[in-house]
Amino acid sequence: MTYSKPKHEIADIIRSHRSGIEKTGRLNAHKKRVFTNLSQCRTETLGYHKDKCDCADCDNEHFSYNSCRDRHCPKCNGLKREKWIIYRQEDLLPVKYFHTVFTIPDQANYLFINHPVIMYNLLFKTAWDTIKQFASDHKHLGAKTGMTCILHTWGQNLSFHNHIHCIIPGGGISLSEKWKNTRNEGKFLFPVKAMSKVFRGKFTDELIKLEKKSLIFLEDQFDEKRKYLHPFYKERWVVFAKMPMLNTRQVINYIGRYTHRIAISNHRIKSFEDGKVTFSWFNYKTSKAQDMELTADEFLGRFSMHILPTGFMKIRHYGIMSSRGKKRSLVIARESLNAKAPVSKKGLPWQELFLLIYGYEHDLCPACKKGRMKRVASYLPKCRGSPASKITKPNFDFCRQ
């Protein structure tokens, strides 16, 4: 596995133009903290350590700077993604899987900006309710299925584009506890046009309930008896289902591609000079790659829109793939499909996982390929709070009076 260092990084743009976007008031405390993490990632501010090869004929030394481990950082999610993929391999069944996308129209963006937690949860809920309704219908499947969902809030040009990617098996477990394929032996999931209408209906029904509870505010009110007249109904609600993926490796590649991705990677930034950022993006309307130029302030503003709320779970599992019922469901499905469970890799030491993922040992000297890199010095992170000289012990003398 090779790695080329990008010419420009998001951290560089944050360090030089953060003050401009902070003055606009577009950053709350959480987003400011994320910006701080990204700007200090792999710098001496977070500390570092020095490793030296223990081979007598090699004097190779290497400094390793600590990572911020923020999920929005473009430099800290590679290993997390690979580990997640390895663990998810244990949950796959020898059946066909579908990649399905649920998309929300742009007219609802203001709701997601003002009420992110409520609306993101609603998006997950209505997508699963839609799949569950079609799966339970005997015309389509008549069994309990499951899905893994990954939330994305961006488009290629960093615009606000809320959608979730779902991996859905082409079948489910029937009431008789047997595996049952979808139509055409798992080659067809559910009719996407019908799913779009059901998804739209469920989503708008929940919006009405939320407004009645005063949890959200709608710019245009719904007439419950004539919902189809609402502006939300004038736009297409897209549910897209790709052809089934044929093998386990293809499923894993799809899952890994979308799990720990952020709004934009450092490698897409082509230039950063004179307060302007140029990055590449793919225009799906024209099916061509293009370049977009934004001011640094606008770039950071768009990037900040995709910082998720604190502690929000962007990857979720439902049905037979949920954490609660997965263990029993997988046993039933594998017995019905005459499939063996893979050897679990959970609990393996991180050194063995590293070797499994990258194909080489983590402490092998890259220069001589014989010795081992041993830590010879560590440097603690710099104090990011008040300077030590200004910290004084509180005076509790009044307590003794």
Output the six-digit token pair for 166: 């779902």
Long-range contacts of 162-165 (CB under 8 A, 24+ apart): 162/103, 162/104, 162/108, 162/109, 162/112, 162/119, 162/120, 162/123, 163/101, 163/102, 163/103, 163/104, 164/101, 164/102, 164/123, 164/124, 164/127, 165/99, 165/100, 165/101, 165/258
CA distance 354 to 132: 38
Contact 371/53 with Cβ under 8 angstroms?
yes
Given a contact cutoff of 8 angstroms between Cβ atoms, the answer to whether 353 and 29 are in contact is no
Helix/strand/coil (H, E, C) string of 118-167? HHHHHHHHHHHHHHHHHHHCCCCCCCECEEEEEEEEECCCCCEEEEEEEE
pTM (2 decimals)? 0.88
Q: How many CB atoms within 10 Å of residue 39?
A: 20
**If you search the block for the tokens 């809920």, which residue do you land on?**
125
Q: What is the pLDDT along the chain (401 residues), one digit of tens a residue?
A: 455 788 999 999 999 999 999 998 889 999 999 999 999 999 989 999 999 999 988 989 999 999 999 999 999 988 888 888 888 888 889 998 998 999 999 999 999 999 999 999 999 999 999 999 999 999 999 999 999 999 999 999 999 999 999 999 999 999 999 999 998 877 889 999 999 999 999 999 999 999 999 999 998 888 877 888 888 887 778 898 887 776 766 777 777 778 888 999 999 999 999 999 999 999 988 889 999 999 999 999 999 999 999 999 999 999 999 988 899 999 999 999 999 988 888 888 888 888 888 888 989 999 999 999 999 999 888 766 544 444 344 443 433 33
